Every structure is written in C-alpha cells, then in structure tokens.
Amino acid sequence: MRSLCVFCGSSSGVDGRYLIAARELGHALATSGVRLVYGGASVGLMGAVADAVLRAGGDVVGVIPEALEQKEVAHRGLPELRIVRSMHERKALMAELSDAFVALPGGVGTLEELFEVWTWGQLGYHAKPCALYNVGGFYSGLIAFLDHTATAGFMRPETRQMLIVEDSQARLLSRLHARASSRRET
C-alpha cells in the first residue's frame, strides 16, 4: 500500500481519544512510507492526521472543493493541495490517488465518503480495501447495524466482509496492507 485515503471529521469530537488516534495514525503512515490522501483541511481530525504525517516527514495530498476551501479551512502547509470544483470531483480524485480507504471518527460527510467507496468496491469499480477504525467504540453501533443489515438480507455477507473493522491501529494497517497487496497480485 503506497497511499491511504483517510476520511474523518473536520471537528475533533468530544473524546480526546479521537484526536490521539488521528495523530498516531498519521505518524504511523509517515514512518511506514505511506502517503496520506485526505480532505485537505487544517482543522479537526483532518488537520491532526495531516500535521502528524508532516511532522514525521511523510507525504500528504489534500483534496478540497472550492466551496469548502474557506469553510473547512484549507491546509496551506501541505506539499500538495488540490482544489477541485465539487464534492464529486473530490471523492473521485481521492479514490484515484489511493490504494485503500479508512474512516476515522467523523460525521455524515465521513460516512458518506466511506459508504460511496465501499459501494464502488461492491459494484466492482475498484478492488481497494475499505475500513472503519473503531476508536473507543465510536463505530460499534454502526457495525451492529451493518451486521443486522446483512442478517436481514439487505446486504450480501461477502459485501459486509469487504469492510475491515479494527479498534487497533496496528491490526488495521496490517489488514489494509495485506488486502491491498493481494489486490495487486491478482
């Protein structure tokens, strides 16, 4: 895995574990030579993960739509900040630049981004791994709902299994690396 797209909040949330996890993930990406692709903001978990990558000497690409450049406070300290016209262009470019996807805690935008790339994978548009980083149980309710969706017959079990879920950063990155590597070998 050469690049990881991280979806996460432009807020830091109320639990300090989310900010710590974003910083630790950023540091781990930099020290393992994995480029961060993310939403391009300087605030919240987005800014924290990018700043951690930069502090550790890693590579970062931010992608932000013109309309959100001011609202999300575009990160001007990035080596590469791409400003696009729309959210659609943002997601398409982030997907193109990435080998895998993970969602840290975030709101409706984070969920929408992850669900879209996961759907693209289900439809066969790509074979890149998708994951939830379940920091402090943040996604436990969603995970239970997804399991229920599969049990109720609205999602194939293999589609549910496509989504990696981990509460450990080391296991998360290991599983993403393994799936991304197996994808390149086939």
Q: How many of the other CB atoms lie within 10 Å of CB of 178? A: 13
Query: Is the CA virtual torsion 92, 94, 97, 99 positive or negative?
Result: negative
For residue 155, the 8-state DSSP code is S
Q: 153 in the Ramachandran plot: left (φ > 0), alpha (ψ -120 to 50) or beta?
A: left
Write the CATH number for 178: 3.40.50.450
- Separation of alpha carbons 103 and 111, rounded Å: 8
Q: Which domain holds residue 144?
A: 3-185
Report the C-alpha dihedral over residues 89, 42, 134, 177, rounded to 10 degrees: 60
Tokens read off for 62: 């931010």
How many distinct structural domains can be found in the chain?
1
Give the tens place of pLDDT for each residue, 144-183: 999 999 999 999 999 999 999 999 999 999 999 999 988 6
| pLDDT tens track for 88-113 | 999 999 999 999 999 999 999 999 99
